Amino acid sequence: MRQVIVGMGTCGLSAGARETYETLRGLLEDKSRGLGDARLSITGCIGMCYREPLVEVRENGRRTIYGDVKPGRAREIVENHLAGGRPLADGIVYSEDASTGLIGGAEKEFLALQKRIVLRHCGLINPESIEDYEAAGGYRALRKALFEMAPAAIIEEVNQSGLRGRGGAGFPTGLKWSFAAATRSDTKFVVCNADEGDPGAFMDRSVLESDPHAVLEGMIICGRAIGSSFGYIYCRAEYPLAIQRLAGAIEQARRQGYLGKDILGSGHDFDIKIKQGAGAFVCGEETALFASIEGERGMPRIRPPFPAEKGLWQKPTNNNNVETYANIPWILVQGAAAYAAIGTEKSRGTKVFALAGAVARGGLAEVPMGTTINQLVFGIGGGIKGGGKFKAVQMGGPSGGCIPHTLGETPVDFENIPKTGAIMGSGGMIVMDESTCMVDIARFFLHFTQDESCGKCTFCRIGTLRMLEILERITRGEGALDDVDKLRRLSLQIKEASLCGLGQTAPNPVLTTLRYFMDECLAHINDKKCPAKSCGMLVDYHIDPAKCTGCTLCAKACASNAIRGTLKELHVIDNALCIKCGKCITSCTFGAVYKD
């Protein structure tokens, strides 16, 4: 049977996959075309977000994936590939022949350089079909955990694998499970943190949309290991498709006997409920997350006691993120040794990254721990859009930091990234080129954390505000040299005095900017110039006499009447009147207006 599969993750849908799907459905239902048994299906995100919408044709052991498939292109695929047996060579982004092992396509390097464990099913199965998941080996690990392994043996297997939490802290997962298992209680909880609030991060969302059963299976196994019969998935309400597919997967798992009472006749009970969060970044911190599930305002609690002793509703609780749970079924089926053989000595396995920003190939990538920044940016990401120059990468979200291109050979793992002053975090990686102002980036992330502070700690609530005010002054050209010392001093005080991880890590983007991009900061302070020509108040606008045709478009677009000139004569910008809105640049069709 031939299959036509449309990528229907959020990335695909936002690129127009719904229209592509409906076009294909109409064409395939047209019996006059003689397409025989061709069947239309959906899948999640394969990771190649930069080429969405994606359409795959499967036939006779061959996979052919087309990129940028709009309705018109979909019609060509049906008429040429399906009806005529002539694949469209110019649109193939990836191809694979099971009989020969040959791999091709314009974007084959994107997938060929990856090692997929968490993303093993993403883009391959229908996320809304439990039968697809089972056919791919799904729930084999659960059967093994229920009928072949004691709870202690499950924990030991996870421990031997070397899996560390993928939410950012990197705490050994097996050790964490053992703490919850050792605590005596009539009630225990398993919690999945799917809050994912970092700007530029979409790893967890894509896994939930593309392979929800893998996360459920990992949670059920954890419940068996620690002696819990109930779990919560805390997912932000801004992820409607992820929530929809999770809810469907939970109902399917209940019908198949993987959730509920006496799972598969094992005597073990376990069920799962989804709790929708309101998008508060602080609820990524586990004790604030627990408070939110309980119906309270999401604010961190003092530790100890730790969640393994008193977590959700003061009961022993294990909390891991989406990616951590998605690793568990693979580890139990393939064995701890197989997982431990991947990565580095202290950072085992793989890590999923969301490549965003100025990178040419934006999307999801899963690579062995220890892969360098350059390998991610250039090998998988394809370098900088438009052939620009790589300047820096921001890792770890608002809690992370900016790493300069000069440290591009740094291995991405739990040991080496912190040495740069950043953190690996949950896996967001924002790539920046020379048009990015690093001072403004620090201001952006500090504005985010300051805005998301729950306000419980004075240093976090007020200290980040003072830092933000300083950075805003600097980007306006009103900074002073002693502002650098003030930023450093406030950073240290906030890190030491804040209760939770949000406040403790909030200064990281600022500290790394001062560490690696001090010359750029001083240019803002001393020269009142932005080297990246990004900060509006620190640039002047000019018109190139060699390119100006006197068309008057820029003058008509100027809201402050700062442009002088008559029709077919050279125009001039009066920067004393200019309000730096940039409308002159966007309105000029000859590229005559530039910033300096």
Q: What's the pLDDT tens digit per position in 562-586?
A: 999 999 999 999 988 998 888 999 9
| Selection from 417, 548, 9 nearest residue 242 by Cα | 9
> Residue 162: left if φ>0, alpha if ψ -120 to 50, beta else—which one?
left
Last residue of a domain, one of 409, 433, 457: 433
Last residue of a domain, one of 391, 410, 433: 433
CA max distance for the chain: 86
- Please check the confidence at residue 31 and state whether its pLDDT lies above 80: no
Are 224 and 332 members of one domain?
yes
Q: What is the arithmetic mean of pLDDT over 83-90?
A: 90
**Which tokens in the block code for residue 104?**
């091709």
Question: Could you tell me the residue range of the domain that residue 134 belongs to?
Answer: 130-338
**Which tokens in the block code for residue 229?**
């019969």
Are 221 and 287 members of one domain?
yes
User: What is each CA distance from 339 to 99, 321, 387, 457, in whole angstroms?
Assistant: 28, 18, 37, 40
More confident residue, 537 or 381: 381
Could you tell me where the beta strands, DSSP code E, fall in 313-414?
Answer: 317-321, 350-357, 363-368, 390-395, 401-404
Are 251 and 187 members of one domain?
yes
Are 316 and 457 members of one domain?
no
189 belongs to a structural domain: yes
Q: What is the DSSP letter of 306?
A: P
Q: Would you place residue 425 in the very low, low, confident or very high pLDDT band (cuts 50, 70, 90)?
A: confident
Residue whose pair of structure tokens reads 């002088």 in the numeric block: 564
- Please check the confidence at residue 1 and state whether its pLDDT lies above 90: no
**Which tokens in the block code for residue 61?**
């052991």
Helices (H) and strands (E) in the chain, counts: 24, 19
Dihedral (CA of 22, 25, 27, 32) sign: negative
Query: Percent of the chain having pLDDT more than 70?
Result: 100
Determine the Cα–Cα distance for residues 32 and 160; give it in Å rounded to an integer.
58
Are 451 and 390 members of one domain?
no
Are 176 and 325 members of one domain?
yes
Are 13 and 33 members of one domain?
yes
Q: Would you place residue 513 in the very low, low, confident or very high pLDDT band (cuts 50, 70, 90)?
A: very high
123 belongs to a structural domain: no
Pairing of strands 230-236, 271-277: parallel
Determine the Cα–Cα distance for residues 416 and 411; give it in Å rounded to an integer.
6
Are 105 and 141 members of one domain?
no
Single-letter amino acid code for the residue at 556: K
Last residue of a domain, one of 433, 463, 483: 433
Could you read off the pLDDT of 441-474 as tens digits, one per residue?
999 999 999 998 898 889 899 999 999 999 999 9
Q: What is the mean pLDDT of the chain?
A: 94
Domain CATH code at residue 43: 3.40.30.10
Residue whose pair of structure tokens reads 């993120």 in the numeric block: 321
Number of structural domains (the chain) is: 5
Are 470 and 520 members of one domain?
yes
Pairing of strands 317-321, 350-357: unpaired
Are 496 and 565 members of one domain?
no
Are 326 and 377 members of one domain?
no
105 belongs to a structural domain: yes
Quick check: 323 and 169 in contact, CB under 8 A?
no
Dihedral (CA of 431, 434, 436, 442) sign: positive
Are 228 and 143 members of one domain?
yes
Q: What is the pTM of this model?
A: 0.92
Single-letter amino acid code for the residue at 198: D
Which residues are within 8 A (CB) of 353 and not within 5 positions of it... i.e. 6 or more apart?
A: 203, 364, 365, 366, 367, 376, 412, 427, 428, 429
Quick check: 24 and 40 in contact, CB under 8 A?
yes
**Which tokens in the block code for residue 489?**
């001093």
Determine the Cα–Cα distance for residues 545 and 547; give it in Å rounded to an integer.
5
- β-strand partners of 364: 354
